[in-house]
Amino acid sequence: MKPISPIRPSPIAGTWYDDNSKRLAAEIDGYLDRALLPDLDGDVVAVIAPHAGYRYSGAVAGHAFAALRGMDFDLVAVLSPLHAFHPAPFITSSHAAYETPLGKIAIDRKLVSDLNRALIDELGFGLETIARDGEHSLEIELPFLQRALTSDFSLLPIMIRSVDVHELEALGRAIASLLRGRNALIVASTDLSHFYHQNEANLLDGEMLRQIEAFSPEGVLRAEETGKGFACGRGAVAATLFAARELGADNVKVVNYATSGDVTGDFSSVVGYGAGVVYRAS
């Protein structure tokens, strides 16, 4: 058996985003600088951001992470989908750290273990660990965090296949229990509808974003079940909303929306991207 490297090798640096640290930092800083945010009067508990290549969704993601700019968190839980098939509902990394061109981010292995035990106690199953995964949707949020936040942070990476409301609520409660009292942030990674004409995508994405802004994890899941809206990371969004609610958040604000067509000019088959901030009102 091939030994597991302490560092997860990136499968997307150089393709989904720049593998040159100076160019990458400058690109992300540009997205953050250009983001225009509404007033968010409160404490940020979580953000929701897209996960396409930066060329397509970087400007939208910049709005989510601009809400964090200059902040200092000790720990960030990043919840994403796992696009590859896997039988386990919840998956995490076997590695000790992720690496991007901007540096390494250590995984909090103790917290991973604690979450695993909490899920087993609640659901009868925990986190499946995998090595050398090819999942882009979790990694692609990390350089934004590295530029927006002011200090190093450790990582709780969770990739989600489940769309079961009971399982996702249990995950959210377990995350909240472990993060309560800590200087921690949650990031949900998701894109919206895929490969509809721009006009139809706007309608589908509008419904999904309405459910997100209504702070309704159940509505997020139901929108996809009924075909009224789509999000490949709906499990990640729902679990994040469940966790944020437990942590005292009471508002969600959608701060930006666009499609790939807004970038490429081809509106015949687009992917939707939204950015949101989940916060505890002052």
The whole-angstrom separation of Cα 156 and Cα 173 is 15
Q: Which of 185, 149, 171 has the alpha carbon at shortest distance from 48?
A: 185
Integer Rg of the chain from CA: 17
Judged against a pLDDT cut of 70, whether residue 225 lies above it is answered with yes
Q: Token pair of 246, please?
A: 């437990």
Judged against a pLDDT cut of 60, whether residue 247 lies above it is answered with yes
- Domain residue limits, the chain: 7-281
Judged against a pLDDT cut of 90, whether residue 108 lies above it is answered with yes
67 in helix, strand or coil?
A: coil
Q: Please name every residue paired with 157 in a beta bridge, in sequence order, or none if there are none.
A: 78
Judged against a pLDDT cut of 80, whether residue 165 lies above it is answered with yes
**Length of the chain in terms of residues written:** 282
Pairing of β 97-100 and β 270-281 = unpaired
CATH 3.40.830.10 given to domain 7-281 = yes
**Are 48 and 42 a contacting pair, CB within 8 Å?**
no
Sign of the CA dihedral running 210, 215, 219, 224? positive
Q: Please name every residue paired with 58 in a beta bridge, in sequence order, or none if there are none.
A: none
Is pTM beyond 0.95 here?
Answer: yes
The whole-angstrom separation of Cα 270 and Cα 12 is 21
Per-residue pLDDT at 2 = 65
Name every residue whose Cβ is closer than 8 Å to that of residue 55 and which is 6 or more positions away in sequence.
263
Surface-to-core class of residue 122, CB atoms within 10 Å of its CB (0-12 exposed, 13-18 middle, 19+ buried):
middle
The whole-angstrom separation of Cα 120 and Cα 113 is 11
pLDDT average, residue stretch 150-177? 98
DSSP 107: B
Per-residue pLDDT at 207 = 98
Per-residue pLDDT at 1 = 52
Judged against a pLDDT cut of 80, whether residue 3 lies above it is answered with no
The whole-angstrom separation of Cα 58 and Cα 233 is 17
Identity of the amino acid at 37: L
Q: What would the pLDDT profile of 193-214 be if each residue is shown by its tens digit?
A: 999 999 999 999 999 999 999 9
Question: Average pLDDT of the chain?
Answer: 97
**Measured between alpha carbons, how far is residue 169 from residues 73, 80, 119 in Å?**
24, 15, 11
Sign of the CA dihedral running 212, 217, 222, 227? positive
Per-residue pLDDT at 87 = 94
Pairing of β 194-196 and β 128-130 = unpaired
Q: What would the pLDDT profile of 51-66 be if each residue is shown by its tens digit?
A: 999 999 999 999 999 9
